[in-house]
Amino acid sequence: MKLKPLFGLVGVILLAVFLIIINLPEASLDFTFSENIGMWQTLVGSKFALEKDSVKFTKGNQQLQIVIPEMNIEADYYDVCVIEGVWPISFDQGSLLFLSPFNKQFDYKFRYIFETGQADRQNQCYIDLTTHGAWQSIVKALLIIPAADAKEVSLKRLKLVRANPWTKLKARWSSFIRYYDPLLGTCFSMASPVFMGKSFNGLVVPMLWGLLIICGLIIIVGQLIKINQRVIKFVAGLILFVVIITFGLLDLRNNIFYLKAISRNISLYWGKPIAERRGIVVGDPEFIDFMQFCDDNIPLETRLFNQVPVDIPGIPANYLSAVQYCANLRPRFYDNRSWGEEDSYYIFYKPREQGSWKISQEQSVVSDYLELKPTEKMQQEIILWRSSKYLSEVVVWLDEGISNPENIELLLLGSDRKTIAGRAKYLKRTGKQAIFLFSPNKNFKKGKKVFLQLKNLGQVPIKIGTVYGDQYKEGSLILHDEKKYSDLSFRLIYQPKDLKLFKRFSQEAFILLDEETQ
Amino acid sequence: MIILRLFFSLFIAWLLGYLIVYLFDPQKKIPWFEGAALSFLLGQGVLTLLLFLLLFLPVANRSIVLTGLILVFFGAKLFFDKNKVWVKSSFQFNKKGLSLFLVLLLFVSLTLKVSYSFIETCSKPEYSWDASANWTEAGRNYFHADKFSNKGVIGEMKKSVTSYPRALSLMHYWIFSWLGEDNDQWSKIIFPLDLLCLLIIFYYALKPSRGGLGALAFTYLLCSAPLFLYHSTIGYADLTKTVYFSVGIIYFYRWLQTKQKNYFWFFGLCLALTTWVKLEGKMLFAIGFALLLSYLWLGYRASLRAKLFYVGQYISLFLIIGLPWQLFSLFNHLPDPQTKLSLSLSLFFEFHQKMYDLMFMEGSWGLFWVIFVAGLLFFFKRQLTGENRYLFLATILFYGNLLFIYLFFPSAVAEMMATFNRVLLPFYPVAVFNLGVILPVFESKSGVKI
C-alpha cells in the first residue's frame, strides 16, 4: 500500500477540520472605552484623554485602575475575555478583577492576571475566564489594572466572548506562555507553567509515570513470554514520542518566555541609569533614593540602626529592611555588632506608627516554635540598643491554639541572669504576636548584655516562636542551662528621649541622631 | 569604556586560569575551546584566593599588583613555552540534511537560552535575597573599605559568617576595582559566563562518545531546566558551586575514561574550589573524595603507594584552596551556626514526600527528573558498566548527602521549600551527563547520530 497519498488525504482532512474550527461562530459582548465615556471610572488623580478610537489613561499618585461598575454579565455564557490596547512597556502584567456572587468588593483573590504583549503596538490580551471558579452566575462589575509598571496605557476595548475552540485555544495558549517577572522566591523554586488552569507538571508527570510503568511491564512480560521485539520497539518508540512531544511543548514555551524576557528587559531597563534600574527592580524607587540620601548625608565610620519595618505593604516580607538596606549603603557599623564609641544614627522608612519615634529592636522572623513546659523558663541573651529605662513594649510570637500568653512571666535580667531590671505585663494579642508592657525598676545602659526571661506559670505547655540562628542573632537562647541552636523571635520597643532629627528625606523617611553619643 | 574595563578584569582572570590549565596540561591535550572555558573557571577561583591571601600583606593597589604578577607569569610562559599548538577545537557535524537541520535548530535555541541568561543578568542590578545582602554587598563593601574605612577589607571581611567563604564577593570586588565603581549590574556577568563555561566543557566531555550532534543535544537538555538557567542570572553562589562540582565530576569521569592525569588535577581543583565558594562545598568535596577512594580501591591497579599519592594530592588541593578561609574564620571567631546534629528518622517519609513534590510536581524541571529516573531504570546495565558505575555511585552519594542534610538537621525539612532545589542544583548537570553516557547512541541510515 502506498503511504504518500494516504498522508496527503489525512493532511487535507485535518486542514479542513482546522478551517472549520477557526470559523465556527462565536458571540461577544464588546465594551469600547471611547464610545462608553461615563460608563467607566478611574481613581482620583489618574487622567484620561480621548484618542482616535481608544482612551489614553495616565497614572496619578495611585495605581491606575479602571472600574466598569454596571456590567451585569452572564458569566456562565462567556468563557474568554479579550482586552485590546497599547502598552509602552513590553510584557507588563495586568489584572482583571470581578465582582462575583462570592465577593462584595474587589479582591485580589478574584482576579485574572494577563500579559500585555509587546510595547507600542495594538495588542489583544486573551484571558481564559473558565480558570477561576468564581466566574459564574452574574458578574456585576469589572476592575482593570492595565499594567504594573507602565505609567500610561491606551485601551481600546474589552470583549467578552462565548468562544469557539480556536479562541479558547488562543486563551489557553496565552496563559501557558504568559510572561511574569521573576519574583524573589523564584530562586527557591520556579513553578511549573499553567496549562488550562492547572499545573503543567501536574497534568503531564502522572501520565508519564503511567506510560513508563506500562513500558516496564511490557518489557518484563516480553522477557517472560517472548513477545515480538517489534511490539516492544513500537511501544517504546510511542512512549519516546510522547516524551519528546511533551518536552518539546514545554521547551517551546520556555523559549518564548526567554524571548519575552529579553524584549521586556530591553524595554524596561535599557538606557536608564543604574539607580533608576535598581528602583524598578526592587519595586520601590523611593527607597533606593532614600538610601542614597542616607549614604550621602551620614558620615562614614558611624553606627547605623535599621528602622525599616519588615512589613511594608506591597513588598515581600523583610525585603527592603533586611536585603536592600545594607546593600545600598557604604560600609559602616551596623546595629549592635562590636559596640564602640561611634555616633549612632537611626534610619526610619515608612514607620509603623506616625508621629512617634519608637525604636524597634527585633529579630522577628519565626521559623519554628519551641515548647516551654509548665514551670520551665527560657532566657534570650540580648544587647540593649537603648537604655532599658526607655523600653516600653516587648513582643513575642506564640503558636495559635492552646498557648496562653497570660501564663507567661516575662522579666528582663542582668548579665548575671539574676538581677531583675524590670518585668513586662501581658497587654494583648494580635494574631500570633503577644504584646507585653514593660515596667523598668533598674536601668541598664545601651550596649549592655541582658537576658529576656520567659517562664511558663501555667499548667499546659506554651509554644514560643523562635528563629534559627545565623548572622542576625543577638545572642544565645538558653533552655535548661543549655544553649539552643535557635533564638527567640522578639521585638523590643523603646521610646527614647535622647534622639533628635538629623535629616528628613520625606514625611515618611528620615534619619535620627543619637545625642548621647555626641 | 566600562565594557572595556570589565573585559580586561575578566581577561586577567582568564589569563591566570590559562596558566593553571597549562601547568596541569602542558601537552595541551584538551581542545582549545574547552581549555578556554576551564581557564575562566579556574582563573576566577584561584584569582579570588590569591586576592584573599594578598589582603594579609601590606600591599596597596592589590588589583594592579596581582595583574602585574599574572602578566609577568604569562610573559614567561610565552617565552619558554615550546609547545604552542593547542589541540584544535572542532565543531564538525554532518553537514547534510536532517543532521544539519537539527544542529542548527539546537544551536539557535541554545543561543537563545544563553542570550537570555546574559541579558537578564546584565540588564538590572542585583535584587535577589542572598545575592544582594551577602555576596554583592560584601564585594561592594570591600571596594569602599579600600578607600574609606580605616579597618580596610580585612575589617569588612570579619563581618562574614563561616559558612560563606568570600570567593564570589572577592570576584565582585576584583571587577569593581577595575571598573572604578560598584556596578553590580556588570559584575554579575560572571554567572552567565560560568554557565557558558560549563556548557562548553559539558559538550566536549560528551562529544567523544555521542558525536557532535548528540553532545549538542544533551548540552541543550542541560540548558532546558528553567530553574537552572534562572540561577545563572541572579548572583547566588549555588550556581558557581554547581558549576565547579559538576565540572569536577565530569573530569573525574574523563580521567577514568582516558587515564590522562591532567583530568585528575582538574577534577581535584574544581572540587576543592567548591569549598571556597560555599562551606556546603565540603560535602561535595567529600563526595569527590569518596568517588576517588572507590575508584582507587576497585578500579585502579597500582601499588598502595601510588594510590596514596593520589589521595594525598587530592587532599592537598583542599588544604591549599579551602583551608585558608577555615583558618581565617577560626582565628577571627566568625559567627558559625551552632548546629547540633540529631538524627530524625521520623522525618524520613515527610522528606521523601516533599522531595517528590519539589522535584517532580511543583518545580519547572519535573519532566527532566522523570526522564532521568526512566533512564536509570531502563538502562541500568549500562549504568553499572565501566566508568558509568562511578556516576551511579555519585548519584547514590548525592542522595546520601540529601539524607544527611535533611535528616540530621532538625530545621531542614521544615525549610525544604526554600532550600531543596538549591541543594539539588549541583547534581542536575551530573544527572544530565549521566543520561548522556548511559543512553544508547541512535544512528540512522541517513547518518544522523544522536
Contact A85, A54 (CB under 8 A): yes
What is residue A471's predicted lDDT score, i.e. its pLDDT?
44
Which distant-in-sequence residues (6+ apart) come within 8 Å of A253 by Cβ? Answer: A176, A177, A193
Contacting residues of B for A300, CB less than 8 Å apart: 148-149
Is B270 buried (19+), middle (13-18) or exposed (0-12) by CB count in 10 A? buried
Interface pTM (ipTM) of the complex?
0.94
Which residues, listed in sequence order, are joined to residue A310 by a DSSP beta bridge? none
Which residues, listed in sequence order, are joined to residue A391 by a DSSP beta bridge? A494
Spatial separation of the C-alpha atoms in residues A216 and A222, rounded to whole Å: 10
User: What is the β-pairing status of strands A359-363 and A152-162?
Assistant: unpaired
| Euclidean distance between the first and the last CA atom of chain A, given in angstroms as a whole number | 99
Q: Over the range A29-49, which residues count as b (16 or more CB within 10 Å of their CB) and which as e? A: eebbbbeeeeebebeeebebe
What's A322's DSSP letter? Answer: I
Coil, strand or helix: which one is A422?
Answer: strand
Which three three-digit cell numbers place residue B71? 602578566
Q: What is the number of other CB atoms lying within 10 angstroms of the CB of residue A234?
A: 12
Spatial separation of the C-alpha atoms in residues B314 and B311, rounded to whole Å: 5
Closest CB from B148, B159, B335 relative to A330: B148
Tell which residue, A26, A40, A54, has the closest CA to residue A157: A54
Spatial separation of the C-alpha atoms in residues A359 and B352, rounded to whole Å: 44
Pick among B119, B162, B378 to test the A interface (most A CBs inside 10 A) = B119
- Given CB atoms, is A214 within the 8 Å cutoff of chain B? no
Tell which residue, B197, B201, B172, B177, has the closest CA to residue B187: B172
Contact B222, B443 (CB under 8 A): no
Using only the alpha carbons of chain B, give its radius of gyration.
Answer: 22
CB contact under 8 Å between B362 and A191, yes or no, is yes
Closest CB from B230, B366, B415 relative to A205: B366
Contacting residues of B for A269, CB less than 8 Å apart: 123-124
∠ at Cα B372 (A199, B279), nearest 5°?
Answer: 90
Spatial separation of the C-alpha atoms in residues A369 and A399, rounded to whole Å: 7
Coil, strand or helix: which one is B65?
Answer: helix
What is residue B364's predicted lDDT score, i.e. its pLDDT?
84
Closest CB from B163, B183, B230 relative to A186: B230
Tell which residue, A357, A387, A369, has the closest CA to residue A434: A369
Q: For B265-307, what is each residue's pLDDT tens digit?
A: 999 999 999 999 998 899 999 999 999 999 999 989 899 999 9
Which three three-digit cell numbers place residue B249? 565530576
- Given CB atoms, is A223 within the 8 Å cutoff of chain B? no
What is residue A79's predicted lDDT score, i.e. its pLDDT?
93
Q: What is the number of other CB atoms lying within 10 angstroms of the CB of residue B73?
A: 15
| Euclidean distance between the first and the last CA atom of chain B, given in angstroms as a whole number | 44
CA distance A203 to chain B (A): 9
Which residues, listed in sequence order, are joined to residue A83 by a DSSP beta bridge? A125, A158
Q: What global pTM score does this model have? A: 0.91
Walk along chain A (518 residues) in steps of 10 and give the mean pLDDT of each run.
76 90 89 92 89 91 90 93 96 95 92 94 95 93 94 95 93 93 85 87 92 86 78 81 91 96 95 94 93 94 87 78 87 69 88 79 82 93 90 91 84 92 92 92 89 93 81 73 85 89 94 79
Tell which residue, A438, A443, A357, A355, has the closest CA to residue A396: A438
Spatial separation of the C-alpha atoms in residues A501 and A509, rounded to whole Å: 11
Which three three-digit cell numbers place residue A226? 517472548
Tell which residue, B17, B19, B9, B12, has the closest CA to residue B78: B19
Spatial separation of the C-alpha atoms in residues B26 and B20, rounded to whole Å: 10
Which parts of chain B sit beneath pLDDT 50?
none
Contacting residues of A for B367, CB less than 8 Å apart: 201, 204-205, 208, 243, 246-247, 250
Contacting residues of B for A310, CB less than 8 Å apart: none
What is the number of helices (H) and of strands (E) in chain B? 22, 0
